[in-house]
Structure 1
């Protein structure tokens, strides 16, 4: 009878993570899946973590809490992420809380999935149930313009995603990481 493998503690020097930021509809989850597959890493979608905490759809949570309480909740969920060798696909509003972004920066590089507004607008129109942290009366284009400066501020890399499929974005990200980045993950990347 085979023996059970021995469980060991997490390494004292954690291997890095890669965090994806960008607008709702930018493709963070699908690019994240492709990147995780390419690297042989795990994938965490922070929107799904929030849904799991509340047991509800993201838009229902946002509507119930209101924008600012939702942003505080999102930051708390992000700050609780303790991961290694993981691609983290975040919600588009994560950049509104320094505490969340500072925590993500400690985990590894942050990549902005840059998609022009016209494509974001088309994608969101196809999925109106998508959760977006916005107040009543706010316009999507105003939120896009407001967030653009924050995405640019926090990102270590800016992946120009227009015209690329998720696998091409994943390859672009991998090719643009610092040369020694993937060597620091125990040779597994």
Structure 2
């Protein structure tokens, strides 16, 4: 979900683990030459989804923490690619916390249908996040540092397995 802390937490997690960091939203913007919202506005949600899936499938996952867009779970082949080659961490945040953090939904480039509410999006995506997650860590009302510590504890020795 947007505003659960994927990008900020990912940077600190990567630094803590001595790994690389990639934010797929930034890669999409670089590849397409425009913001996520502009892609959605000018080319439509389906064009955005194609660009996102292509980006996810092209990632080199070795020794890298990746912050995906919240809609990554819509692409089974991409999730399989990431799950086969890494550890998928679901940073779970309560919908009320997400709404409190999310100030720029209209310009953020969130893959949602016209007229769809953030509550509806949450209800659709949550089962996918739970399905694909190897590790789930709550981020509600917690500092990013505590969230990172919880992720590292949850990963245990999985990180040294060559991911």
- Please classify the TM superposition score into its range, dividing by the shorter chain length: over 0.9
Higher Cα radius of gyration? 1
Aligned to 2:128: 150
Deviation at 1:73, TM superposition (A): 1.8
Higher helix share: 2
* Alpha-carbon distance between aligned partners in 1 of 2:50 and 2:77, rounded to the nearest angstrom: 10
Give ranges in structure 1 of 5+ residues lacking alignment: 1-22
Deviation at 1:100, TM superposition (A): 1.2
Aligned to 2:47: 69
- For the Cα contact (< 8 Å) 1:32–1:87, is it kept in 2? yes
* Alpha-carbon distance between aligned partners in 2 of 1:121 and 1:24, rounded to the nearest angstrom: 9
The one of 105, 110, 119 aligned to 2:97: 119
Q: CA 1:65–1:100 in structure 2 vs 1: closer, same or farther (change >3 Å)?
A: farther
Deviation at 1:41, TM superposition (A): 0.8
Aligned to 2:38: 60
Alignment of 1:21-60 (within 5 A): 23-60=1-38
Deviation at 1:182, TM superposition (A): 2.9
The one of 165, 168, 184 aligned to 2:143: 165
* Alpha-carbon distance between aligned partners in 2 of 1:80 and 1:67, rounded to the nearest angstrom: 20
Aligned to 2:74: 96
Q: Secondary structure at the match of 1:48?
A: helix
Deviation at 1:101, TM superposition (A): 0.6
Aligned to 1:5: none
* Alpha-carbon distance between aligned partners in 2 of 1:110 and 1:185, rounded to the nearest angstrom: 14
TM (norm. structure 2) is 0.93
* Alpha-carbon distance between aligned partners in 2 of 1:127 and 1:71, rounded to the nearest angstrom: 17
TM (norm. structure 1) is 0.81
1:49-69 alpha-carbon deviations (Å, 9 max, x no partner):
000001111111122232233
- For the Cα contact (< 8 Å) 2:36–2:48, is it kept in 1? no
- For the Cα contact (< 8 Å) 1:44–1:88, is it kept in 2? yes
CA RMSD of aligned residues (A): 1.6
- For the Cα contact (< 8 Å) 2:24–2:67, is it kept in 1? yes
Deviation at 1:127, TM superposition (A): 6.1
